[in-house]
Chains A and B, each alone.
Chain A
Amino acid sequence: MNERHVVAFLVENRPGVLFNISNLFRRKNFNIHSITAGTVLDDDTVRITIVVQADSRGVNQVVEQLDKMVDVVEVKRLDPLRTVNRELALVKLTTTDPMAREEALKLVNDYHGLILNIEPDNLITEVTGESEEIDAFLEAVKPIGVEEVSRTGVTAIEKGRLRLEKGEY
């Protein structure tokens, strides 16, 4: 059964690490749905979040192999029930119709989004939420006229006292 899995990593901040990780997913013929990366508290460590569509056993195997990689400090499949997932989308809407602009502002408000830029014939909005919320927002603003979309992909963090790194901060 193919379903979405969120895998989180802490890796050494060095060239080629992202390549090696994505390469392993490629070898197993998994399609990476989204990937986000950024340094965490220190500059030596990068936290990566990858969403893949795959069967559960396959993902477990890849996680074992990723764990083996020297530059991977920690890797973990996140339990969807114990995880907060967030994604950010920038959406450029094109409209000169005042009614449609009004509708757009209302929708952005409903989805707790922000207006980042306004020009005479378009506006840029920012929406954050779970992937499904962003899907829904995009569906809702479609009739108004979507010029361009840029999504970050999912970043995730575990609830409560769970955390990725076993050692001390």
Chain B
Amino acid sequence: MVEMAGTKAFVKSLELEGVKHVFGLPGGVVIPLFDEILNGGFRFILARHEQGAAHMADGYARATGGVGVCLATSGPGATNLVTGVATANIDSSAVVAFTGQVTRAVIGTDAFQEVDIIGCSASVTKYNMQVRKASEIPRAVKTAFQIASTGRKGAVLVDLPKDVTTDVEDVTFPETVKLRGYHPNYQPDRREVEWAATLLAKAQRPVLVAGGGVINSGSTRELVALSEYLMAPTAITLMGKGAFPADHPLSLGLCGMHGTQAANNIVPEADVLLIVGARLSDRTTGAVKSFAPNAKVIHLDIDRSEIDKNVETVTHILGDASLALRGLLYNVSKLRAGGDVGNQWGKKVTEFRCQMNGNGNGHKEGYLRAPDVVRALRKTLPREAIVTTEVGQCQMWAALHYDAYDPRTFFTSGGLGTMGWGFPAAIGVKAAKPDVPVVDIAGDGSFGMTENSMATSVEEELPVIVVVLNNQMLGMVAQWQRLFFGHRYSAVKLKGNPDMVKLAEAYGAEGVRVDTLEAFEAAVRRAVKSDVSTVIDVPIDPEENVYPIVPPGAGLKDALLEA
């Protein structure tokens, strides 16, 4: 037991968790904490808005597979974090957010910059807590990291009243924390695995769907092995980008509202459908009744509450995906030989794959087509490059046309769909992976929401590349208004947006506008080598749609392919 101030206990606790980077912004009640942070054995990265700090921590967590940490002051600082915390939590990203709070004595009096952040964040965190005593800080930090990073990962918020951080008390640093009500389950049940294996072994038209859980559990190798053994074509959800190599012959690509033709037509054909680490949101399934009408659905997930939530299953496996997939492969191999079962399902699928993506037409001369830009980006970047996306059309073009070959090379705000996520997240990724090119595939609408993160990128020397697919529109809303609302535009035109090149230059970054693919590729190659961030402004047709699109409420097979 050592006597020390709460601030010291806090910084020491972070060091004990192995924290290397903290993203945040100071304010009144956290001044004592920030004073102590100067002595911390980690790098503090100053954001320009707390939302950006939370997204940076989120990007950092996804890139490393570890925990991302952010820190903000009370009141507005804390509420600004909430969007970022919610984004991380729904995408199962391990983020620990610390917020300052007013002094204990004035909590509940509507004191200056007081917000009940515990109440505010309750439904968008995996866990939250307010620390009541300085001596409890180490245990709170330990608990937060443990909960955020185990089981189904998520966001944890810890609220620190000012006097709790300044009090001097006897402090001990626990090595582990035992929580009675928290038992993340990793070991799959043997009988569940055997039963699922029996169904898979008998399947004539097996299909696999891989979600973000495959990435979080690091089970890509096991998934590929099972897919190959069964000759089972494999689709991914948006969060599963990179979970199954896009250049694998059995890869179907993205399934769902903006899924590939291959995935959306083959998934509903399955007679046995194995879902791995996905929560099957409405955007993935389309109309649920036509998602897998003839399939025995097997759901493998670490989170029991996801089973049967949206799609009814015949059986499930609870636990870690890599252990379960290994068990499945072992049991299937005892029941049947590998390869095609004689019905040439694999071959049919491969043929079908050739008629993959709707390309979208109706674009005007003189504009680059967004899918071509995204494909050119993939071609120009090294294999290990990491991509983040903003939200909307740019996100869907990225998901459809950017081939992700490895896990943790493609990150997007899938569940919450937070515009403005991609750019600060890319900065967080860069902090984690300084030697790898990091690119944010953005639209002009999304980029505008967190573009002030450029100041952080420049001063912290965390250069990223922002490709702005610039249609001067809130593109996805505009697309829906064109397709489903009789082409009546309401509040989607962004004519007043700044000149992206000058904007970049104003921050001391580089900006370039391109109107040919050659110029684009050259700009990307230059940007990869640059010491500062680069904004590549790519004007595209404001009327260009993302195809295919499954209209809301329709089944996956009923995608619209062209205008």
Binding site for B on A (CB under 8 A): 11-12, 15-16, 19-20, 23-24, 27, 57, 61, 64-65, 67-74
Q: Could you tell me the distance in whole angstroms from the C-beta of B176 to the nearest C-beta in chain A?
A: 15
Given contacts A19-B119, A23-B122, contact A61 B181 (CB under 8 A): no
The answer to whether A20 and B304 have CB atoms under 8 Å apart is no
Contacting residues, chain B, for A67 (C-beta < 8 A): 304-305
Contacting residues, chain A, for B123 (C-beta < 8 A): 23-24, 27
> Nearest B residue to A44 by beta-carbon distance?
B180
The answer to whether B309 and A12 have CB atoms under 8 Å apart is no
A141 to B429, CA, bound (A): 70
Q: Could you tell me the distance in whole angstroms from the C-beta of A3 to the nearest C-beta in chain B?
A: 19
A70 to B129, CA, bound (A): 11
Interface residue B303 (Cβ < 8 Å from any Cβ of A)? yes
Q: Which one of A12, A19, A24, A27 lies within 8 Å of B180 (CB-CB)? A: A12
Contacting residues, chain B, for A20 (C-beta < 8 A): 122
> Nearest A residue to B126 by beta-carbon distance?
A70
Q: Could you tell me the distance in whole angstroms from the C-beta of A62 to the nearest C-beta in chain B?
A: 9
Q: Could you tell me the distance in whole angstroms from the C-beta of B153 to the nearest C-beta in chain A?
A: 13
Given contacts A69-B181, A70-B127, contact A61 B309 (CB under 8 A): yes
Contacting residues, chain A, for B147 (C-beta < 8 A): 70
The answer to whether A73 and B181 have CB atoms under 8 Å apart is yes
Contacting residues, chain B, for A70 (C-beta < 8 A): 126-127, 147, 179, 181-182
Interface residue B288 (Cβ < 8 Å from any Cβ of A)? no
Q: Could you tell me the distance in whole angstroms from the C-beta of A11 to the nearest C-beta in chain B?
A: 7
Contact with A along B177-216 (1 / 0, CB 8 A): 0011110000000000000000000000000000000000
Contact with A along B240-274 (1 / 0, CB 8 A): 00000000000000000000000000000000000
Q: Could you tell me the distance in whole angstroms from the C-beta of A52 to the nearest C-beta in chain B?
A: 17
A24 to B122, CA, bound (A): 10
Could you show 27 A-B contacts with beta carbons less than 8 Å apart? Answer: A12-B180, A12-B181, A16-B118, A16-B122, A20-B122, A23-B123, A57-B308, A61-B305, A61-B308, A61-B309, A64-B304, A64-B307, A67-B304, A67-B305, A68-B303, A69-B181, A70-B126, A70-B127, A70-B147, A70-B179, A70-B181, A70-B182, A71-B181, A72-B181, A73-B180, A73-B181, A74-B181
Interface residue range, chain B: 10 to 19
The answer to whether B179 and A68 have CB atoms under 8 Å apart is no
Q: Could you tell me the distance in whole angstroms from the C-beta of A65 to the nearest C-beta in chain B?
A: 5
Contacting residues, chain A, for B122 (C-beta < 8 A): 16, 19-20, 23
Contact with A along B296-327 (1 / 0, CB 8 A): 00000001110111000000000000000000
Q: Could you tell me the distance in whole angstroms from the C-beta of A70 to the nearest C-beta in chain B?
A: 5
> Nearest B residue to A62 by beta-carbon distance?
B305
> Nearest B residue to A74 by beta-carbon distance?
B181
The answer to whether A11 and B309 have CB atoms under 8 Å apart is no
A20 to B129, CA, bound (A): 12
Contacting residues, chain A, for B179 (C-beta < 8 A): 70
Contacting residues, chain B, for A72 (C-beta < 8 A): 181
Contacting residues, chain B, for A74 (C-beta < 8 A): 181
> Nearest A residue to B132 by beta-carbon distance?
A15
Q: Could you tell me the distance in whole angstroms from the C-beta of B141 to the nearest C-beta in chain A?
A: 15
Q: Could you tell me the distance in whole angstroms from the C-beta of B181 to the nearest C-beta in chain A?
A: 4
